[in-house]
């Protein structure tokens, strides 16, 4: 039995292709179209590598970026794109190495600092992430993602005041940055500023009403404030969106107990 026969089977009079077959045929079509193209210049290898990365074909894309770098070693773009492929493939250490190579060639592009900063966050190196994101902000002081990610790193370093400042800046640039409001709510909740927490959770909920975590944490803020009715409402919504949420079930039970004691 040949390879094609392994990938096909019969159902009645129809030939049915399994998922593996479809993927292989799809890749073969792409290769047939692009091989004459990406075999020419660094730019063409790079562009085809980006296409394969977008398809999730990271091993293929990495080889193409390698070839682009071999042909044009002083061009930062394939280093950056190879870093993105490593990142999306879950290898932040190799991504950081390639971001660094890109920055050695191009020091004035904010997205490279932002991307390396995010990989440093993923590796738990928050101080280096803060430095990279600060460099990005120096280059682009209206980039919401630079402020958002630096705020996250500040928060992990226990610098709540700086985190709040950066989240506020991020949402002033991008008023639809839902996670900015949510993360702000979490900080305010943790430091006892429950009204501010509730306000930010409410905006996050307006932007993404089906995120159960937003309702759950707003319920916690209501409960800590002593507003048991609104807490129960939020816990009920959490359970409607996520019926197996043990935290919401336990919190609701505790709030009902506390509510009974006050009556």
What residue spans define the domains of the chain?
1-85, 107-175, 180-263
Model pTM above 0.85 = no
Kindly report the backbone phi and psi dihedral angles of residue 185, in degrees, each rounded to the nearest multiple of 5, phi listed first: -55, -40
> Is it true that domain 107-175 has CATH number 1.25.40.10?
yes
Per-residue confidence (pLDDT) for residue 262, from 0 to 100: 85
Q: What's the average model confidence in pLDDT over 208-228?
A: 98
Is the separation of the CB atoms in 207 and 178 below 8 Å? Answer: yes
pLDDT digits (tens, 9 = 90+) for 17-65: 444 345 445 555 555 455 444 458 999 999 999 999 999 999 999 999 9
Strand 14-17 to 8-11 pairing = antiparallel
Whether the domain at 1-85 and the domain at 180-263 fall into the same CATH topology = yes
Residue 16 has pLDDT above 80, yes or no: no
Class of the CATH-defined domain 180-263: mainly alpha
Quote the CA–CA distance of 79 and 68 in Å, as a whole number.
9
Mean pLDDT, range 109-126, rounded to an integer: 97
Is residue 10 pLDDT above 70, yes or no?
no
pLDDT tens sequence across 151-204: 999 999 999 999 999 999 999 999 999 999 999 999 999 999 999 999 999 999
> Please, what CATH class does the domain formed by 1-85 belong to?
mainly alpha
Q: What is the pLDDT of residue 1?
A: 35
The neighbour count for residue 242, using CB atoms within 10 Å, is: 17
């Amino acid at each position: 039995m040949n390879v094609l026969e392994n990938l096909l089977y019969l159902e009645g009079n129809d030939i049915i292709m399994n998922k593996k077959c479809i993927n292989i045929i799809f890749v073969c079509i792409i290769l047939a179209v692009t091989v004459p193209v990406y075999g020419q210049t660094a730019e063409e290898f790079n562009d085809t590598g980006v296409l394969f990365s977008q398809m999730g074909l990271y091993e293929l894309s990495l080889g193409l970026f390698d070839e682009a770098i071999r042909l044009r070693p002083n061009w930062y773009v394939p280093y950056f794109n190879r870093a993105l492929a490593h990142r999306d493939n879950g290898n932040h250490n190799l991504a950081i190495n390639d971001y660094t190579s890109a920055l050695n060639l191009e020091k004035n592009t904010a997205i490279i600092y932002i991307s390396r900063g995010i990989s440093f966050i993923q590796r738990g190196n928050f101080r280096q992430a803060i430095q990279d994101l600060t460099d990005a902000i120096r280059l682009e002081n209206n980039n919401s993602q630079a402020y958002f990610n630096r705020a996250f790193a500040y928060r992990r370093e226990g610098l709540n005041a700086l985190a709040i400042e950066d989240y506020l800046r991020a949402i002033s640039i991008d008023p639809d940055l839902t996670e900015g409001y949510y993360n702000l709510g979490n900080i305010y909740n943790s430091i006892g500023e429950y009204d501010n927490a509730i306000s930010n959770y409410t905006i996050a909920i307006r932007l993404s009403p089906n995120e159960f975590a937003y309702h759950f944490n707003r319920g916690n803020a209501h409960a800590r404030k002593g507003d048991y009715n609104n807490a129960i409402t939020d816990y009920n919504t959490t359970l409607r969106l996520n019926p197996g949420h043990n935290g919401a079930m336990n919190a609701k039970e505790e709030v009902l107990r506390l509510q009974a004691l006050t009556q």
